[in-house]
Each structure stands twice: as C-alpha cells, then as structure tokens.
Amino acid sequence: MIRLLIVDDSAFMRIALRKMVEHCDDIVVVGEAKNGEIALRMAQELRPDVITMDVEMPEMDGLAATQAIMQSVPCPIIMISSLTSRGALTTIEALEKGAVDFISKESSFVQLDIGQIAEELVEKIRFWYAQRGTRMKQPAPSFIPIIPTEKRITPMGKVGLVVVAVSTGGPAAMPILLKNMGAISCPMVIAQHMPAIFTRGFADHMRFETGLNVVESENGMILTPGMIVVASGGKDCVVREPFLGKLMVYDKLVESAPIHPNADVLFHSALSISVNVVAVVMTGMGNDGLQGALALQAKNTPILVQQPSSCVVDGMPGAIIDAGVPSEILGLAELGKRLAKWCK
C-alpha cells in the first residue's frame, strides 16, 4: 500500500487531491498538511512513501519544506505547481533541492483541469513509490559497460554544436554539468521535457546558478558561440543552417512525438548541418533521444551518456547504453569536463 501525504494550504485542493487517488486500491492518504511546517512534522511522524507538495504556502513554503524533508526524512516529493512564472521558478528550485517530479495545474483548478491531471498524478505516485529507497540517497557505483576503443568516437575537429537530451532530474543535473563545463566556444541546445511556462524560469535559474549565457529559445534565434539555449517548452526545437556556418533554431511541433520538447526531433535536425556535433543524453524517463542518437552515431558523432547510477531516472541513458550507442559513459562532473575539453 502506498502511503501518501498531501500538503496544500487550500482545503479545496486537499479534498481534490484526495478524491483523485481515493479510487485506487493501492494508495491511501495517511495525512494532510496546510503548510510546510506541519508537513515536516507529519513527514517525520508518519514516514509517508510519497508526498505531494504545494509550491506557494504561508509560514513555510514548498521549497523550504522540500529542503527540510529531504534533509530529515527523505522520500519522493511531487510538486503541485500553478501555471505561473513564480510557481514555475519555485518548482524548478525545489527540483534542484531534491523534489523528484512536478505536476502543473491551472490557478483556478476547475473541474476540467482536475480530470486532466488525475491520471498523471496517480501514475507518478506509483512510479516514484517503486523508485523509493534507490533514488533517495547518494547513488552507489554501478557497472558501466566497457566500450571498445573503436567505438569511442571523438570529434573530428572543432566542435560547432552540442545537443542535449534530458528529462526527469534535469533541473538538478544540468547546473552541475554546466558548472564543470564552463564557457565553451560553440552553442549548446537543450531539449528538456517541460511545459511552456517552465522553460524560461529554468533558463533564468541556470544562468543565475552558473554565470553562463543561458536563454530560452525563440523562433529564428541565431546561435552564437557560448550560448546555451533551452528549447521552449511544449513544442519542439530544430537547428537549421540557412548559410554555411550560421546556425539558427526554429520552433516546430511534431504531432507524432510523444513528449515535447522532443530530443529525437532536435538530434535529427543536427544531421543536416555542416559543423561537428556532440550529443549528450542525460537523466530521464523513457527512451527519447535514442533514435536521434542512432542516426547521429551513423555519422560518427560522439554520443556522451550520463552514468545511470547518477541519474534520478536512468531510462533515457539506459536505452542508449542497451543499444550500444555511447562513445563514453560519465558522471555529471566528468560529462562537463569532457565537453570543456572538446569545446573550449
């Protein structure tokens, strides 16, 4: 039985969240808290398996509560974020502090919105319950396949573009990679699975954390050396080369893609440009990036993969490893240093 603690300052929201899970035979609500201070005390007393955490609350908000719980009695925390710029930024900070996932909701939380997110909420509660214990502590060393020397592809000259696939765990992982990478001489484009309201805050947060030129993509944006572009949420991003050596990014929505911004779409767009490309696949659920990585590998593009044991969810890196695609499998700091070496 999954023991759930609901944290929200709105009595209506607490009732709504309870109703979303009460039909599930495997989920039981063991407590409800109206602010972060009460949530911390209840988490220590009840030891829930999963917590849903509101972002904006009086006395102790969701960010402070998440940090305190993760230091005291770590367990999977799913942020319930309003679709506002402030809510998005606080959610990203909470994910960096240890929250594992988020669900966005309309501020009014009307009946239609409840129906739309109920299925997502139950799915995420079950998923993170299954991950408990393995992701709430420092990752242990894991077996890394030995990559034959002939498969360790390295850039064939100056790198002109880095493309990155990342999903669940990205807000915590990306700043570590970027800090270890530092300023580079080519642009980087990141496909981070996020709704539209979140990606600008994600870019702003990473710019503040790293001091690097991190921006959200805009349709027709020119890519310049050292620019780190977060693909705008809720749609896909492609790289084009209208003139030799001049790279630009454009918005695109591939209806068949299961999630956006889609890494496979981004990776495939890099096949047609003239500069040397490096691809990176990081923490995330599913296998987005695999088909694009296979296509890039066929053109002797280096594919760097985050070590699975350092991932919040190792689905995306695991898919790349299982397919035998990686050039190298590295921890976060080592990934950053490798990019620094290749792209300075």
Share in percent of the chain as helix, strand, coil (round to 5): 40, 25, 35
Catalytic choice (288, 310, 314, 327): 288
Catalytic choice (82, 104, 167, 327): 167
Catalytic choice (49, 193, 269, 314): 193
CB atoms within 10 A of CB 108: 9
Separation of first and last alpha carbons in the chain: 51
- The residues facing 53 across adjacent strands are 7, 79
Antiparallel, parallel or unpaired: β 50-54 and 159-166: unpaired
d(CA 279, CA 289): 9
Query: Known catalytic residue: 193?
Result: yes
**CB-CB contact of 73 with 45 (8 Å):** no
Query: Known catalytic residue: 167?
Result: yes
Q: Is 298 exposed, middle or buried (0-12, 13-18, 19+ CB in 10 A)?
A: exposed
Both tokens assigned to 135: 């992701």
Catalytic residues: 167, 193, 288
